[in-house]
Structure 1
Amino acid sequence: MKIHNLLCGLGITLLVSTADAKTIEFGGGANMNKLVAAADVLKNSEPFTGSEITLSGEVVKVCKKRGCWMTLKVDNGEEINVKVRDGDMVFPMSAIGKRAYATGVLEQFELDIEKTKRYLAHRAHENGEAFDASKVTEGMSLVRLKPDAVTILEMQ
């Protein structure tokens, strides 16, 4: 709980201390009162699945076709996907390299090997990357955030 409070305070301080920064907001902006450590969520997602939380990280990828998802790199170096229904929000490519806060419901999916291949092929296609389905040997767990509000800090 102390870590949670510390992270919330740090996030709020970061937002307040960037008075010279512009922000891009979707859905009224992220709810900083629900900020949790993304590393903790990725370590054990079960307690957070189905709950509305706020995660933060550096935007490292954005959907090139529709801007319907972005990938956040969190403090421990892991990544989490933030996905909206096409057209609900359009994340700009210019968000790459920026700090983002996303508030939404955490989802978790267990994909069998065939669904894993389709998912990874789709992601590769969206990114214009090659994909070799023969290298996929097992299913995967997918944890992502379905946001209803996002704040992206645009530094001047």
Structure 2
Amino acid sequence: MKQILFLTGLLFCLGATAQIKTAAKGVTYGTKTTAKGAVEVTILEEKLTTTKKFVGKVKGTITEVCEKKGCWMKLAQADGEGIMVRFKDYKFFMPQNIVGKEVVLDGFAIITTTSVEELRHYAEDAGKSKEEIAKITEPKEEIEFEAKGVLVLN
């Protein structure tokens, strides 16, 4: 009887992990989207110098993802910083293996000021050391993107 219960529990666990989509070419998270009309990150940055909000698609490479549950990620920028990407209404999350992948984000971007508290929270989520987190002492003006859909390109 114990063996039957153990095997049944094991099957449920295996079934639950099989439902997680890994970041493979062509996989979409959130609202289905395509690469058509996507602009490079540099174009997004240029547009945000003349307008308060960008609505559309952006193509880039993921450099970081929340290690706890995949609730945010960062898109590479030429200056080495990353564009903070969150997901509309937290309706979907990203797998850990999305780091290094080229993606298309569909949604909107704004320039915002992120508080020290939030920056420290993100650093903790990213697995940064206590020393690195302690070095965060000032708020930061940055681009923030809210994605309703993410398409993995490679």
TM-score normalised by the chain length of structure 2? 0.69
Counterpart in the other structure of 1:56: 59
Number of corresponding residues: 127
Structure 2: where are the runs of 5+ without partners?
Answer: 1-23
1:49-73, Cα deviation, whole Å (9 max, x unpaired): 3331211111111111121111111
SS in structure 2 of the partner of residue 97 of structure 1:
coil
The aligned counterpart of 2:32 is 28
Do 2:88 and 2:147's aligned partners in 1 also have CA atoms closer than 8 Å? no
Residues 44, 141 of structure 1: alpha-carbon distance in 2 compared, 3 angstrom cutoff: farther
1:108–1:144 distance in 2 versus 1, CA, 3 Å? same
What letter matches 2:84 in structure 1?
N
The one-letter code of the counterpart of 1:143 is I
Percent identical residues: 22
Matching residue of 2:117: 118
Compute the TM-score of the two structures, normalised by the length of structure 1. Answer: 0.68
Tell me which amino acid in the other structure corresponds to 1:124: A
1:145 corresponds to: 145
Residues 77-156 of structure 1 mapped to structure 2, 5 A cutoff: 77-85=80-88, 87-111=90-114, 115=115, 117-129=116-128, 130=130, 131-133=133-135, 136=137, 138-154=138-154
Q: Decide whether the 8 Å contact of 1:25 with 1:150 is kept in 2.
A: yes
Query: How large is the RMSD of aligned CA atoms in angstroms?
Result: 2.5
5 Å-filtered alignment, 1:36-55, equals: 36-43=39-46, 45-55=48-58
Alpha-carbon separation, structure 2, partners of 1:83 and 1:30: 19
CA distance in 2, matches of 1:85, 1:79: 19
Unaligned runs of 5+ in 1: 1-20
The alpha carbon displacement at 1:81 in A equals 1.8
Could you list the structure 1 runs, at least 4 aligned residues long, displaced by more than 3 angstroms after superposition.
46-49, 74-78
Larger Rg over CA atoms: 2
